[in-house]
């Protein structure tokens, strides 16, 4: 039954989960209730923390189909449990359900995707099901998504809109008319309200959730225990600390909720117009929209309340909310295959592949263009949390837990402390029984040892370093929305950079053009704005083939298009609303040159006059635009010169793509060589092409034609050469990263050779390094997938030497250190297409290519994310730095993502830099390293603190004594808290060093450091404890003891006589207690100094003035009260008088302890690594990180790197289970 009833939902997706069915069991609930009463509510808390136990303790297994409760478990490495209650959606109370068959289908779980044509559903299905079954649909909600029971797949599935399995044809034929009111109401019942709700929890709810944290429950238990033992002051101090901690935590959590709520709610409800079936237009609230509604986009624009696909007209949209790119994007209507001349087949609509026709939720429509009498319409495809914005908000509301070794080790360490506490617990019980102590006292004292061993201040201490680091980052203009990631940034050993706008300047400058005539390149020309070229097709293409638009009278659009249009000095005019209304077809955008003889633009006043001088006018109207697509790497337009019968098609884009769509006879023979020469020099090259269209193409036909029909059989016209300058700081920053042994990788959407050239210019690839280009080809015509390896010439070599001699093959360098293995002398470069082929067909090569892959060109946004994942799979800690434009996925996936864009898209990135410069990367890594080392220091210190105090108490328990209330208070508040919060203040070291901090607490050097300090502290404490008993003046202390001189003792005795009864009860005042208290107090400060590491990751501790001052004040105070007792202080701290000679002896013990501790810690730092590496060499231990292990393997692999001009093929061998094993042959 178990196996049979485990189902999987969201299969193959990021949020894939296993689902189990359960029904509530009365007898189990009764037993649990009894258990809760017997344990005083503790069992209830345990079940609250563990959803899996909660469900299993109160329910019995049932079929998923009929269950009342579902238990969900994620299939990722975290294996987290969630539970959800099954609810019923009742349809019987709604008489408006006109499409009854649809109701039947959904109520029985069929319609988990929208029924495309409800009116034409098979009517006979009604008779299939008994009427009683039609009333209710079963569903549950998890992470803001509703999952409905689906009978066809016998599983739960979330309700999809029109974004899956709906063809482009059916969007026009079946969905463009709108919905009837009945169908709309019915769908609204299923899909719910169209809003992305971020509920800000009430303070009370948040408080309960925060207080029920296991840590605070442990604190509550400690406080109750201390109160029963009359440790009121310390209990009060802990309560105050906890309240401060809870209040600050509540404030920050609530503040984040409010910020997110405000960001989402700013435009959650607007009034929209929708078309109904009978062509009437109804005004409704955006919250009432459902998939299938036809929304009218208003003229003056709007903020989109849902995801919708354009079916009429054109929109100009600002998508900065989602992409971080503030450049307006032109959206055109979805191609309609049914009226297309060529016919595209029945292509399925997909918001991602058809994003140039999709208006996304949260984006701003700036303005619209339309046909006369026809409204700009869009069909709603997704609503609420299903929209792109909803998914972004969900990823913020329910983030994946951060898996970092430090946190896992911290829990292990706490378990070790619990084990130590267990030993103390048992020892205390046995010792107390042997000494015939009362049962009540035994219980309190044995439980007390647990509260001493597991320090209540630990979480506050651990977060202090991160909070300080966050504050320092804010000062240098780096904002952080995920503070836990700061520590992870200290581990980064590879950083991916986007090229344009990140490594190079944002804007491009036009360097020149190189036209083609008679299939031959002419000489490069700098000035495009001249009389000779003004009527050429080349300039016409530059004037029309762009997505520029006027917003508020100012030209705006893609920076590349702007530079290109400015270079020719033409004028762009868009039709006004009045003009559009006068004509019976769409008014095109018109471009024209300035008055022929004048290169500069004519004054605005003359423009109207010139319209009447018909013979002199030369105008081009842009009839249809196919926007730029990063997948196709091109854009095209259909335009017509005023007075011409035939229309022209112009195309621009990546040279390789454009050349492949042109007639071969029009492409110059030396095209590849010329292109290579330009790209090697780091220029960005764009190719132009043109062709005359058939005269039979009318305006209306052009509006519905597919781009494939236009974009072929073109005439190649030449190249535009743009210059993309490196940012001034780029080479220096990359050099700093290389010196620190941090690998750098370039991920760009640009041309490969341009990217390689920029990589050489900025020092990512050194002049003497070799670049191996991996060109992977997918399987075709029965042939297997293969990779061709080419060696790119370095700039220093002659360009005409095409043959590469064998000496040019890179040599492998054998390094002493594993860390240096990555510094070898060859780099792989590949484009996005090759990367996809390699991921699919050459999985065994992926890790090898990741080890030396430096340039990844023409990468689509999802490929950038896949690259980050592939690098993480070989155990790299990956940083990603991008301008946010198309790097959102990669920024989120990387261990440390830094967005250089300050727009709302930075919500997707853990870090955002105020200044758009990559100098923030080394700063972030430095701060991350400092925060990580601070975390280690604090953790080690807190561990020592608990062990020192634990041992002090254990020693005193042996003589049935303990530390006094105010002694505990002084140690915990005056020493520990002050030290912890000031030792975290060390700023980061000035520069990045090659050494990296350890990633976890369970490392040889760290454990050796902690254990050696524990042994030293225990040793010196024991020495003091047992040595005091050997003193000639020693006796078991009583109020009249006279170890000091007589006059002093008179004073002492009189001051303490009135407390006699209280002292006898707890036996706190004695010589052992005083000795242990003074020695342990100094030990806390000694280990604080020993563990306060400075170089190479933090500034030395003497520069941390707060820490230095605090430690000096504490040292002086403790020394003073030890050597020169003050009666009032001694009375409060319950210290007894000991001879001066013993005070000096204690001082000597403390000084020797300090010397030994600091020397041992210094030698662990200096020699620990050498001893460790020597031990590893003896054991021949393999390195932990996969990439290091791989680097070792490749050093002895004779076939790697691949030889020049060779090919690697994928061979598929069918195994018994039918899967393919891939073997590469060279």
Angle between helices 214-228 and 439-453 (to 10 degrees): 140
Specify the pLDDT at position 616: 52
pLDDT tier for residue 371 given thresholds of 50, 70 and 90? low
How confident is the model over 887-894, as a mean pLDDT? 75
DSSP 1070: S
- 1084, pLDDT greater than 90: yes
Strands 896-899 and 911-913 come out as: parallel
pLDDT tier for residue 1146 given thresholds of 50, 70 and 90? very high
Computed from CA positions of residues 1121, 1085, 1153, 1162, in that sequence, does the dihedral angle turn out positive or negative? Answer: negative
Top-confidence residue, 5 or 572? 572
User: 1135 — phi, psi (to 5°)?
Assistant: -100, 140
Rounded to a whole number, what is the distance in angstroms from the first to the last CA of the chain? 50
Burial of residue 227 (CB within 10 Å: 0-12, 13-18, 19+) is middle
How confident is the model over 469-491, as a mean pLDDT? 83
| 3-class secondary-structure state, position 542 | helix
| 3-class secondary-structure state, position 778 | coil
pLDDT tens profile 1011-1068: 899 999 999 999 999 998 888 887 877 777 666 764 444 444 444 444 443 444 667 7
User: 487 — phi, psi (to 5°)?
Assistant: -60, -40
Share of the chain above pLDDT 90, in %: 11
- 561, pLDDT greater than 90: no
Specify the pLDDT at position 470: 85
How confident is the model over 756-762, as a mean pLDDT? 83
- With beta carbons less than 8 A apart as the criterion, state whether 179 and 187 touch: yes
- 375, pLDDT greater than 50: yes
pLDDT tens profile 763-794: 888 888 888 888 888 888 778 888 888 887 64
Q: E strands, 546-679, where?
A: 549-551, 554-556, 571-573, 589-592, 620-629, 634-641, 648-653
- With beta carbons less than 8 A apart as the criterion, state whether 176 and 294 touch: yes
Q: What is the mean pLDDT of the chain?
A: 78
- 310, pLDDT greater than 70: yes
Distance from C-alpha of 135 to C-alpha of 189, rounded to nearest angstrom: 13
Residue 662 forms beta bridges with which residues? Answer: 714
pLDDT tens profile 400-411: 666 666 667 777
User: 1133 — phi, psi (to 5°)?
Assistant: -80, 0
How confident is the model over 793-809, as a mean pLDDT? 36
**Which residue reads 């005091």 in tokens?**
1028
- 1087, pLDDT greater than 70: yes
- 205, pLDDT greater than 50: yes
State the Cα angle at 1101 between 1100 and 1104, rounded to 5°: 110
Specify the pLDDT at position 630: 64
The least confident of 307-316, 920-929, 1052-1061 is: 1052-1061
pLDDT tier for residue 1172 given thresholds of 50, 70 and 90? low
Specify the pLDDT at position 1168: 61
- With beta carbons less than 8 A apart as the criterion, state whether 639 and 648 touch: yes
Top-confidence residue, 368 or 808? 368
How confident is the model over 303-310, as a mean pLDDT? 91
pLDDT tens profile 505-538: 766 778 888 888 888 888 888 877 777 777 788 8
Q: Is the peptide bond before 1068 cis (omega within 30 degrees of 0)?
A: no
What predicted TM-score, i.e. pTM, was given to this entire model? 0.72
State which H helix or E strand residue 366 sits in: strand 364-369
Residue 1192 in tokens = 């070792």
Residue 1025 in tokens = 């404890």
Q: How many residues does the chain have?
A: 1226
Q: Is the peptide bond before 981 cis (omega within 30 degrees of 0)?
A: no
Residue 909 in tokens = 């990135």
- 380, pLDDT greater than 90: yes
DSSP 823: -
Share of the chain above pLDDT 70, in %: 81
Specify the pLDDT at position 125: 31
- 1114, pLDDT greater than 90: yes
Distance from C-alpha of 272 to C-alpha of 295, rounded to nearest angstrom: 7
- 1223, pLDDT greater than 70: no
How confident is the model over 536-551, as a mean pLDDT? 85
pLDDT tier for residue 675 given thresholds of 50, 70 and 90? confident
pLDDT tier for residue 1102 given thresholds of 50, 70 and 90? confident
Cα 785 to chain center, whole Å? Answer: 33
pLDDT tens profile 938-977: 888 888 898 899 889 888 888 888 888 888 888 888 888 8
| 3-class secondary-structure state, position 826 | strand
Distance from C-alpha of 390 to C-alpha of 762, rounded to nearest angstrom: 39
Catalytic residue among 498, 750, 761, 965: 498
Distance from C-alpha of 1169 to C-alpha of 1167, rounded to nearest angstrom: 6
Q: Please indicate whether residue 498 is annotated as part of the active site.
A: yes
Residues 63-67: contacts with CB under 8 Å, at least 24 apart: 63/5, 63/21, 64/5, 64/7, 64/19, 64/20, 64/21, 64/155, 64/156, 65/21, 65/149, 65/154, 66/21, 66/23, 67/21, 67/22, 67/23
pLDDT tier for residue 1155 given thresholds of 50, 70 and 90? very high
Top-confidence residue, 553 or 113? 553
- 698, pLDDT greater than 80: no
pLDDT tier for residue 811 given thresholds of 50, 70 and 90? very low
Specify the pLDDT at position 1117: 92
CB atoms within 10 A of CB 255: 11
Specify the pLDDT at position 308: 93
Specify the pLDDT at position 289: 92
CB atoms within 10 A of CB 188: 18
Strands 145-150 and 155-158 come out as: antiparallel
**Which residue reads 């280690």 in tokens?**
936
């Amino acid at each position: 039954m178990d196996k049979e009833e485990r189902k999987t939902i969201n299969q193959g997706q990021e949020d894939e989960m296993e689902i189990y069915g359960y029904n509530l069991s009365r007898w189990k609930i009764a037993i649990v209730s009894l258990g809760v009463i017997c344990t005083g509510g503790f069992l209830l808390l345990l079940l609250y923390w563990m959803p899996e136990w909660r469900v299993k303790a109160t329910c019995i297994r049932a079929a998923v189909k009929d269950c009342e409760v579902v238990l969900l478990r994620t299939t990722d490495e975290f294996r987290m449990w969630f539970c959800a209650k099954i609810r019923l959606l009742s349809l019987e109370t709604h008489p408006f359900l006109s499409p009854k068959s649809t109701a039947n289908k959904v109520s029985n779980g069929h319609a988990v995707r929208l029924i495309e044509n409800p009116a034409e559903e098979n009517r006979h299905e009604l008779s299939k099901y008994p009427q009683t079954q039609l009333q209710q649909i079963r569903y549950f909600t998890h992470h803001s998504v509703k999952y409905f029971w689906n009978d066809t797949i016998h599983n739960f599935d979330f309700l999809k809109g029109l974004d899956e399995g709906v063809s482009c044809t059916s969007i026009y034929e079946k969905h463009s008319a709108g919905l009837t009111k009945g169908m709309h109401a019915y769908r609204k019942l299923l899909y719910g309200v169209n809003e992305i709700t971020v509920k800000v929890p009430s303070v009370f709810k948040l408080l309960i959730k925060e207080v029920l944290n296991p840590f605070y429950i442990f604190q509550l238990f400690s406080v109750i225990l201390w109160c029963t033992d009359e440790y009121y002051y310390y209990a009060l101090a802990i309560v105050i600390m906890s309240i401060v901690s809870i209040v600050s935590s509540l404030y920050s959590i609530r503040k984040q909720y409010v910020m997110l709520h405000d960001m989402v709610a700013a435009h959650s409800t607007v009034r929209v117009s929708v078309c109904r079936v009978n062509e009437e237009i109804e005004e409704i609230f955006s919250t009432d929209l459902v998939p299938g509604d036809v929304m009218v986009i208003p003229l003056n624009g709007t903020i989109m309340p849902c995801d919708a696909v354009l079916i009429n007209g054109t929109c100009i949209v600002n998508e900065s909310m989602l992409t971080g790119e503030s450049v307006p994007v032109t959206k055109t209507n979805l191609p309609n295959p049914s009226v297309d001349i060529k016919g595209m087949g029945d292509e399925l609509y997909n918001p991602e592949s058809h994003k140039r026709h999709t208006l996304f939720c949260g984006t701003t429509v700036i303005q619209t263009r339309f046909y006369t009498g026809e409204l700009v319409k869009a069909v709603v495809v997704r609503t609420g949390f299903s929209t792109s914005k909803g998914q972004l908000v969900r990823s913020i509301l329910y983030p994946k837990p951060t898996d970092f070794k430090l946190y896992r080790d911290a829990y292990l360490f706490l378990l070790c402390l619990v084990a130590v506490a267990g030993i103390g617990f048992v020892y205390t019980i046995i010792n107390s029984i042997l000494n015939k102590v009362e049962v009540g006292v035994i219980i309190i004292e044995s439980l007390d040892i647990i509260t001493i061993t597991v320090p209540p201040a630990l979480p506050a201490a651990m977060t202090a370093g991160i909070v300080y680091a966050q504050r320092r980052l804010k000062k240098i203009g780096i904002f952080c929305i995920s503070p836990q990631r700061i520590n992870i940034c200290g581990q980064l050993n590879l950083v991916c950079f986007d090229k344009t706008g990140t490594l190079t300047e944002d804007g491009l400058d036009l360097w020149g053009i190189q036209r083609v005539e008679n299939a031959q390149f002419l000489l490069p020309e700098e000035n495009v704005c001249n009389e000779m070229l003004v009527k050429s097709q080349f300039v016409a293409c530059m004037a029309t083939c762009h997505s520029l638009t006027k917003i508020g009278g100012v030209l705006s659009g893609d920076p590349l298009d702007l530079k290109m249009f400015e270079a020719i000095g033409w004028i762009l005019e868009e039709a006004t609303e009045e003009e559009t209304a006068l004509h019976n077809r769409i008014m095109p955008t018109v471009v024209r040159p300035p008055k022929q003889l004048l290169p500069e633009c004519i004054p605005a006043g003359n423009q109207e006059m010139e319209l009447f001088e018909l013979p002199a006018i030369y105008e081009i109207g842009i009839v249809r635009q196919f926007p730029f697509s990063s997948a196709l790497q091109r854009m095209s337009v259909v335009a017509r010169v005023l007075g011409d019968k035939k229309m022209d098609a112009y195309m621009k884009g990546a040279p390789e793509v454009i050349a492949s769509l042109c007639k071969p006879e029009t492409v110059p023979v030396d095209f590849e060589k010329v292109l290579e020469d330009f790209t090697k020099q780091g220029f960005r090259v764009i190719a132009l092409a043109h062709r005359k269209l058939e005269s039979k193409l009318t305006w209306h036909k052009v509006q519905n034609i597919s781009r494939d029909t236009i974009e072929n059989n073109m005439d190649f016209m030449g190249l535009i050469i743009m210059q993309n300058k490196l940012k001034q700081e780029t080479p220096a920053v990359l050099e700093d990263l290389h010196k620190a042994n941090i690998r750098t990788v370039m991920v760009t959407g640009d041309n490969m050779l341009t990217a390689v050239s920029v990589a050489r210019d900025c020092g990512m690839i050194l002049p003497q390094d070799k670049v191996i280009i991996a060109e992977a080809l997918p399987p075709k015509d029965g042939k297997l997938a293969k990779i061709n390896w080419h060696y790119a010439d370095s700039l220093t070599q002659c360009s005409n030497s095409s043959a590469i001699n064998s000496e040019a093959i890179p040599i492998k360098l054998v390094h002493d250190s594993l860390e240096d293995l990555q510094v070898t002398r060859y780099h792989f470069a590949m484009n996005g297409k090759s990367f996809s082929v390699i991921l699919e067909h050459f999985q065994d090569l992926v890790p090898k290519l990741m080890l030396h892959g430096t340039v990844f060109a023409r990468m689509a946004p999802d490929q950038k994310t896949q690259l980050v994942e592939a690098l993480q799979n070989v155990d790299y800690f990956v940083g990603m730095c991008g301008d946010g434009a198309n790097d959102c996925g990669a920024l989120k996936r990387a261990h440390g993502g830094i967005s250089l864009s300050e727009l709302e898209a930075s919500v997707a990135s853990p870090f955002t830099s105020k200044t758009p410069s990559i100098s923030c990367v080394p700063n972030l890594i430095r701060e991350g390293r400092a925060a990580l080392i601070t975390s280690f220091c604090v953790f080690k210190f807190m561990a020592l603190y608990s062990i020192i105090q634990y041992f002090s108490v254990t020693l005193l328990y042996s003589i049935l004594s303990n530390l006094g209330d105010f002694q505990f208070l002084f140690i915990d508040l005056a020493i520990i808290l002050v030290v912890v919060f000031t030792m975290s203040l060390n700023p980061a070291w000035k520069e990045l060093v090659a050494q990296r901090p350890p990633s976890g607490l369970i490392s040889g050097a760290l454990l050796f450091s902690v254990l050696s300090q524990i042994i030293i502290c225990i040793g010196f404490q024991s020495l003091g404890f047992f040595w005091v008993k050997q003193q000639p003046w020693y006796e078991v202390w009583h109020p009249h003891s006279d170890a000091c001189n007589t006059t002093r003792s008179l004073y002492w005795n009189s001051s303490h006589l009135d407390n006699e009864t209280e002292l006898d009860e707890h036996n706190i005042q004695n010589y052992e207690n005083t000795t242990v208290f003074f020695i342990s107090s100094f030990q806390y400060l000694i280990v604080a100094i020993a563990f306060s590491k400075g170089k190479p990751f933090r500034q030395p501790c003497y520069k941390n003035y707060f820490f230095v001052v605090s430690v000096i004040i504490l040292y002086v105070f403790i020394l003073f009260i030890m050597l020169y007792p003050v009666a009032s202080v001694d009375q409060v701290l319950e210290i007894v008088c000991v001879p001066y000679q013993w005070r000096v002896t204690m001082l000597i013990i403390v000084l020797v302890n300090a010397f030994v501790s600091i020397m041992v810690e210094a030698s662990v730092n200096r020699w620990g690594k050498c001893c460790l590496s020597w031990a590893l060499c003896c054991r021949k231990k393999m390195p932990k990180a996969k990439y290091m292990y791989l680097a070792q393997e490749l050093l002895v692999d004779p076939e790697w790197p691949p030889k020049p001009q060779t090919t690697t093929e994928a061979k598929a061998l069918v195994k018994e289970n039918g899967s393919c094993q891939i073997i590469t042959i060279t």
